[in-house]
Chain A
Amino acid sequence: MIAMYYQNPITITGIDLPWIPSMGTRFHLSSDGVSLLMALITNVVVMVSMYVTLSENKAGQRQFYALLLLMQTFILGVFVAEDMFLYYIFWELSLIPAYFLVLLWGESPKIKPITLRFFLFTLFGSLLMLIAIITLGNMGEVGNYDLSIIEGLEIGIPTQLLLFVAFMVAFGIKSPIFPLHGWQADTYEAAPTSVTIILSGVMSKMAIYSIYKFVLPILPDAVNQYGSYVVLAATFGVFYASLLAMVQTNIKRMFAYVSMAHMGIIAAGLFPLNSNGLHGVMLQIAAHAVNTCGLFLVAHSLYKLNGSYDMASFGGLRQKMPLFAGAFLVILFGAIGVPFTNGFIGEFLILNSLYSYDVLSAILAGSGVILGAVYMLNLYKRVILGTDNKTNYLDINDVDKFLYLSLVFVIIITGVYSSWITKLCDASIQTILHSNYIQ
């Protein structure tokens, strides 16, 4: 669809049908460049996730895959829904398979309390969002949830602020933004890796996409006035999560915090409200999806070696597994944003626009650049470099090789040629900016 969209945007059609007339909600799906990008990311991440499950023979495989696919459906729904009520339904539905996937196939003995916390906390955010959406839907001509109509509403500033808080709590939990990340590290660590990949690769982006798609156009005054607090929280989260990542010994848990640090930068990039920042967000979303897949895939490959995510149980893998070490290195450099990898351009654009927006936030976000190098290189040193201790592992097999090489390829190509993403998203970004923020 993306290729078609390039040639002619109107070849991609949506659907708009009455759904629950008494409420005024419609089954309205439509897409622009940004939603197509999100859809592509979702599908790619799900594909990688499927791949990860291939090597495991889980009990209840049928249900597992069905849930995974349902989750994919609902996430895609979130990205293309144009009716806010429908959007909410998809949002909630996507949580249900995630919950069961973590609960039933999780890898931790404490899986029940962890899943419950994940579910309840996310549900709390969703409830706030539901209230906000219902309020919005009943503001204009009664019961119309269509985005185009809600966008046209004149909302008073106090109301905007309340709605803004409700939305930001919901999205802050999902993303997560500091200090609403309490569910994240445990869940990412405990969930089966294939699910963690989807949670961090796509579900976290649902929040960013939603802020972009709904909060920015609907609540422009609140965004202008209070956005800087969110930016401060998000960028402090970058610093905070980076420091936490430095002291983790469990690789998967560490990657959870790495993911949070990156999401903080992405979330912060939304609020300077300029073209550089928003393009940076889109680039970074795409980059983070790929890199996070890569990182958790690395964790998965390590786990396959000796059934542990503990850093101390590895060392000197470089000798026996040069290919794996090389791929990991590229993924790592992508994650810390070295130029000519996909992580650089988005981070550069976001930091650049943050710098003009608020220097303190830019410094906090920038600390992630340095700390990222610290924790990643230390991890690499401990796991991959050094002398081989006792182990006699085989290097990644052909299927793994293909997957890793594809990731490496994408990381470098997107780092050198990024215009395919900026071109795709430009129309959508300009619409949002020009109709609300640039007079």
Chain B
Amino acid sequence: MNLNSAQLIAMMVPTLPLIGFAGYLLYGQYLKEKSAGLLASLWIILSFFLTLILFFQLNESSPAINVHLFDWINTDDLNIPFEFRIDQLSIIMMLLITGVGSLIHIYSTGYMHGDEGFSRFFAYLNLFIFFMLILVMANNFVLMFAGWEGVGLCSYLLIGFWYKDHENNKAANKAFIINRIGDLFLLFGLFLLYKQFGTFIFSDLEQNIAGSMSSPEILTFITLLLFIGATGKSAQIPLYTWLPDAMAGPTPVSALIHAATMVTAGIYLIVRSNFLFALAPLTNEIITFVGLTTSIFAGVIATKQNDIKKILAYSTISQLGLMFFALGLGAYGAAFFHLLTHAFFKALLFLGAGSVIHGLHGEQDIRNMGNLKKYMHYTHLLFLIGVLAIIALPPFSGFYSKDNILSLAYIQSPIWWIAALFAGLLTVFYMLRLYFVVFWGKERMSQDTINKIHESPWSMLLPLLILGILSVFGGWINAPELLLGNKWLEHFISPIVSIHPSHLPHSTEWILMAVSMGSILLVAFMTYQKYVSKAHVPLIESNAKDGSFVNLIRNKFYVDELYESVIGKSFLKLSQFFNSIFENQVVRRITDGTGQLSLYVSENIRKTQNGFISYYLFAMALGVLGILTIFIFFAL
């Protein structure tokens, strides 16, 4: 294993977080809170700087850096190396993971201050970063799957971090189990892929597929299985129900895992295997449809939620849906771009929400907030930036990435454009509703709470500030020519994802942009009217006498209940049937019936037993000993 310096650096990137985790196991109990948090953050920050060094070694034409560490699985038919591949796509993901990861580690030193599981929390976070890096750095599907399941594992640990409350544990179990359902589909997709093409390694697969004449049906089937796997991790219909519940975890976890990194793994999977998906048009149509449906569906649910984190969770599902929509259209670059900007502003929003929750000592219901702009100036300002970015107002980052997706949708069909715009307008409504209800209007907290409101410490505000800057300027990395950019990101990842040609005339683009801006501003104004001018406050559940449809939304369309009663119950019934009826009626009879038979056969043998068990044993042992002794004598 002779590694050159770049390979060595690449190897160190995931190793450092792992050291952080192992370190907790070894000496975590001896560390004070402050040093434990600093040390854990330091590993990730170091990892980030190493990634930066690697990043500057890569340009859009440089070959991938391969780091072969050892053979992980090795039968003579199948060799799965533990090998990293750092190319233009993975380096951007690595920057995202370690960069946002560092910020969230720093933030957490403030947020988790005083928690009894402080250092355990950081250990899990370190472990998560390790697995997430494995996921994006792997050069083959199986190692990627290891990271894929590993992040699910960390997600489980972190959602259930406050394990004393069974609500959290339930949410953690749900997340892990639903993810496993997706994982199994993904796994089967991989098996079929292997059966067809005989390898799991990305580069070999790409070659084998180019050279093979496999039928489009099989490719459709493979890509569909992979996509179902992606819906599990990236919380799309039908496997999205775990993500809102996952908000039971500490807020930094929601920001890092359930907004910025892990949930985007599904997008990464499809971008990474775009050479497969490009050959499966039917799958792409399904992805477009599922993505758009999820986006609108989650957006609608978000309009009636009152828990600050749940709103953001549904918003995440909705934005991920938009990314899948773009993937289905073949706009891999645009989807990846939105993944990045979304990571910035959604992490910002979550951390901002965390700052609010922290300031209000655990309050999460927006109906019990109000006028926080008076008490938390910095949080308010930064949260506002996040809101403006997510509703896609220029010049914030979300504008660039959403506009990119919208104009590509228009090329395919104006109907797609309208539908995607509608999903975007839902975002405008629920995000501004959240913003106005929390930061404007009258204080609805108790006087006692008001007295205790405090702005968050610098350790929390600094990451917010950096994310705020990224949310403002992050869009420039892929600004189109129209807006004086040069589409740097899409050019950079062009070795993995070929550049999507865009053929809209500039005049059309300007018109589309104007229409979408106009409608965003209109919805924004209406929302302002409702929640600020009329000071509307969402009703408290018990007083809700709205129409049935509103109740339906408020109850999230009863999807959880449906799953529970249809799938959960039927499996339970089947288990009980097996346990109480089948085991006794069938299995027991097989056992006893044959047992009787052998009883009959061995009746005579049994009669010779004299009941002295130890004597019996002694005789048996002595006999065998005697026999063996004789043989040893001969053998030696």
When A and B assemble into the complex, do they touch directly, with CB atoms less than 8 Å apart?
Answer: yes
Binding site for B on A (CB under 8 A): 15, 17, 27, 63, 66-67, 70, 93, 96-97, 100, 104, 116-117, 120-121, 123-124, 127, 179-183, 240, 243-244, 246-248, 274-276, 279, 316, 318-319, 333, 338-340, 344-345, 348-349, 351-352, 355-356, 362-363, 366, 369-371, 373-374, 377-378, 381, 384-387, 416-419, 422-423, 426, 430
Dominant SS among interface residues on chain A:
helix
A247→B145 contact, CB < 8 A: no
Give Cα distance in the complex from A120 to B606, angstroms. 11
Closest chain B residue to A248, Cβ basis: B579
Of the residues A121, A181, A279, contact of B598 by C-beta under 8 Å: A121
**Hey, which chain A residues are within 8 Å of B594, CB to CB?**
120-121, 124
Q: Is B575 touching A381 in the complex (CB atoms < 8 A)?
A: no
Given A120-B599, A124-B597, A276-B75, also A344-B146 (CB < 8 A): yes
Q: Does B595 contact A (CB under 8 A)?
A: yes
Give bound CA distance, A247 to B613, whole Å: 38
Q: In the complex, what residue of chain B is closest to A336 when comparing beta carbons?
A: B180
Instruction: Identify the stretch in B169-177, B280-288, B537-545 within 8 Å (CB) of chain A at 4 or more residues.
Output: B169-177
Contact A373 B176 (CB under 8 A): yes
CB distance from A409 to the nearest CB of B (A): 11
Quick check: which of B88-96, B189-197, B319-327 contacts chain A, the rest being far away?
B189-197
Q: How far is the CB of A361 from chain B (nearest CB, A)?
A: 12
Q: Which residues of A contact B597 (CB under 8 A)?
A: 124
Contact B78 A276 (CB under 8 A): yes
- Asked whether any CB of chain A lies closer than 8 Å to the CB of B560, the reply is no
Q: Is the CB of B77 within 8 A of A274?
A: yes
Report if B452 contacts A (CB, 8 A): no
Complex-state Cα separation, A386 to B598, whole angstroms: 49
Q: Contact partner of B188 among A182, A366, A419, CB < 8 A?
A: A366
Q: Give chain A nearest CB distance to B352 CB in angstroms.
A: 30
Contact of A117 among B70, B183, B591 (CB under 8 A): B591
Query: If the complex has contacts A121-B598, A276-B78, are A247 and B572 also in contact, measured as CB distance less than 8 A?
Result: yes
Q: Which residue of B lies closest to A366 (CB)?
A: B184
Evaluate contact between B188 and A356: CB separation under 8 angstroms. Answer: no
Chain A residues, CB < 8 A from B596: 120
**How far apart are B178's CB and chain A's nearest CB, in angstroms?**
9
A355 — which chain B residues lie within 8 A by C-beta? 188, 191-192, 195
Does B549 make an interface contact (CB < 8 A)?
no
- What is the bound-complex CA distance between A386 and B165, given in angstroms? 6
Given the interface contacts A345-B73, A385-B166, does A182 sit within 8 Å of B195 by beta carbon?
Answer: no
Question: Can you list 29 contacts pairing A with B, beta carbon distance less than 8 Å?
Answer: A27-B631, A66-B621, A97-B617, A104-B613, A120-B595, A120-B598, A124-B594, A179-B590, A182-B583, A243-B574, A244-B579, A248-B579, A275-B75, A276-B75, A316-B164, A318-B163, A338-B149, A339-B147, A344-B146, A352-B191, A366-B184, A369-B187, A373-B177, A374-B177, A385-B166, A385-B169, A416-B82, A419-B74, A426-B76
Q: Does B3 contact A (CB under 8 A)?
A: no
- Given A246-B571, A338-B150, are A124 and B598 also a contact pair (CB < 8 Å)? yes
B482 within 8 A of A: no
**In angstroms, how far is the closest chain A Cβ from the Cβ of B427?**
33
Residues on the A chain within 8 Å of B592, using CB: 117, 182
Contacts of B260 in A (CB 8 A): none
A15 to B72, CA, bound (A): 36
Q: With a CB–CB cut-off of 8 A, which chain A residues contact B601?
A: 127
Q: What 9 A-B pairs have minimum CB-CB distances, sorted nearest first? A: A182-B591, A339-B146, A120-B595, A124-B598, A355-B191, A279-B75, A243-B575, A385-B163, A124-B594
* B602 at the A interface (CB under 8 A): yes
Choose from A247, A352, A377 the contact partner of B576 (Cβ within 8 Å). A247
Tell which of A338, A339, A426 touches B75, judged by Cβ atoms closer than 8 Å.
A426
Q: B631 contacts A349, CB within 8 Å? A: no
Minimal Cβ-Cβ distance residue in A for B191 = A355
Determine which residue in A63, A182, A246 has the highest number of CB atoms from chain B within 10 A of its CB, and name it. A182
- Shortest CB distance B194–A (Å): 6
- Contact indicator per residue, chain B 241-278, by CB within 8 Å of chain A (1) or not (0): 00000000000000000000000000000000000000
CB distance from B30 to the nearest CB of A (A): 15
* Residues on B with beta carbons closer than 8 Å to the beta carbon of A116: 595
Knowing that A244-B578, A275-B75, A348-B73 touch, tell me 17 more A-B residue pairs with CB under 8 angstroms. Answer: A120-B594, A120-B599, A124-B594, A180-B591, A181-B587, A243-B579, A247-B576, A276-B77, A338-B149, A349-B78, A366-B187, A369-B183, A381-B173, A418-B74, A422-B74, A426-B76, A430-B76
CB distance from A236 to the nearest CB of B (A): 11
Cα distance A55–B153 in the bound complex, in angstroms: 34
B181 within 8 A of A: yes
Q: Please, how many angstroms separate the alpha-carbon atoms of A324 and B588 in the complex?
A: 36
Q: Which residues of A contact B192 (CB under 8 A)?
A: 355
Query: With A179-B587, A349-B73, A422-B74 as given contacts, are A370 and B181 in contact (CB-CB < 8 Å)?
Result: yes
Option from B180, B194, B590, B620 in Cβ contact (under 8 Å) with A182: B590
Identify A15's interface contact among B73, B183, B624, B635, CB under 8 A: B635
Q: Which residue of chain A has the shortest Cβ distance to B153 in the bound complex?
A: A338
Inter-subunit contact B166/A419 (CB<8 Å): no
How many residue pairs between the two chains, A and B, have CB atoms under 8 Å in the bound complex?
175
Judging by beta carbons under 8 Å apart, are B177 and A362 in contact?
Answer: no
A243 partner, pick from B75, B578, B613, beta carbons under 8 A: B578
Q: Is the interface of B mostly helix, strand, loop or mixed?
A: helix
Most chain A CB inside 10 Å of its own CB: which residue of B146, B163, B591, B635 = B591
Chain B residues with CB under 8 A of A93:
620, 624
A349–B601 CA distance with the chains assembled, in angstroms: 42
Determine which of A15, A244, A374 lies in contact with B631 in the assembled complex, contact meaning CB atoms within 8 Å.
A15
Picked from A97, A124, A363, A371, the residue with its CB within 8 Å of the CB of B595 is A124
Tell me if A370 and B180 are in contact (CB < 8 A).
Answer: yes
Give B560-594 as 1s and 0s: 1 = Cβ < 8 Å from A's Cβ atoms.
Answer: 00000000000110111011000100111011101
Closest Cβ of chain A: how far from B131's Cβ, in Å?
A: 9
Q: List residues of chain A with CB within 8 A of the CB of B27.
A: none
Task: Tell whether B160 is near chain A: CB-to-CB under 8 Å.
Answer: yes
Residues of chain B within 8 A (CB-CB) of A366 are 184, 187-188
| A-side contacts of B586, CB under 8 Å | 179
Is B579's CB under 8 angstroms from A247's CB?
A: yes
The residues of A that contact B180 with a CB separation of less than 8 Å are 369-370, 373
Q: Is A96 touching B177 in the complex (CB atoms < 8 A)? A: no
Does residue B447 face the partner (Cβ distance < 8 Å to A)?
no
Note all chain A residues with C-beta closer than 8 A to B591: 117, 121, 180, 182-183
A356 with B191: in contact, given A17-B634, A120-B595, A244-B579 (CB under 8 Å)? Answer: yes
User: In the complex the two chains form, is B74's CB within 8 Å of A352's CB?
Assistant: no
**Are A243 and B635 in contact (CB-based, < 8 A)?**
no
Do the beta carbons of A123 and B602 come within 8 Å of each other?
yes
Q: Give Cα A362–Cα B588 distance, bound, in whole angstroms.
A: 27
Q: Tell whether, in the assembled complex, residue B579 and residue A333 are in contact, meaning their CB atoms are under 8 Å apart.
A: no
Chain A, residue nearest B594 (CB):
A124
Residues of B within 8 A of A340 (CB): 146, 150
Q: Which residues of A contact B602 (CB under 8 A)?
A: 120, 123
Q: Which residues of chain B from 196 to 235 have a CB within 8 Å of any chain A CB? A: none
Any A CB within 8 A of the CB of B334: no
Which residues in chain B, 61-116, are within 8 Å of chain A measured between CB atoms? Answer: 70-78, 82
Among A17, A70, A240, the residue within 8 A (CB) of B578 is A240
Q: Is the CB of B635 within 8 A of A387?
A: no
* Chain A neighbourhood of B191, CB < 8 A: 351-352, 355-356, 362
How many whole Å from B365's CB to the nearest CB in chain A?
A: 24
Which residue of chain B has the shortest Cβ distance to A408 in the bound complex?
Answer: B25
Alpha-carbon distance A381/B592, docked complex (angstroms): 36
Known: A70-B621, A339-B146, A373-B176. A244 touches B583 (CB 8 A): yes
Is the CB of B610 closer than 8 A to any CB of chain A?
A: no
CA distance A63 to B183 in the complex (A): 49
In-complex Cβ contact of A349 among B75, B166, B170, B635 (8 A): B75
CB distance from B421 to the nearest CB of A (A): 38
Alpha-carbon gap, A62 to B602, bound state (A): 29
Q: Closest CB of chain B to A78's CB: distance in Å? A: 14
- Which residues of the other chain, B, contact A247 by a CB distance below 8 angstroms? 572, 575-576, 579
Docked pose: A430 CA to B76 CA in angstroms: 9
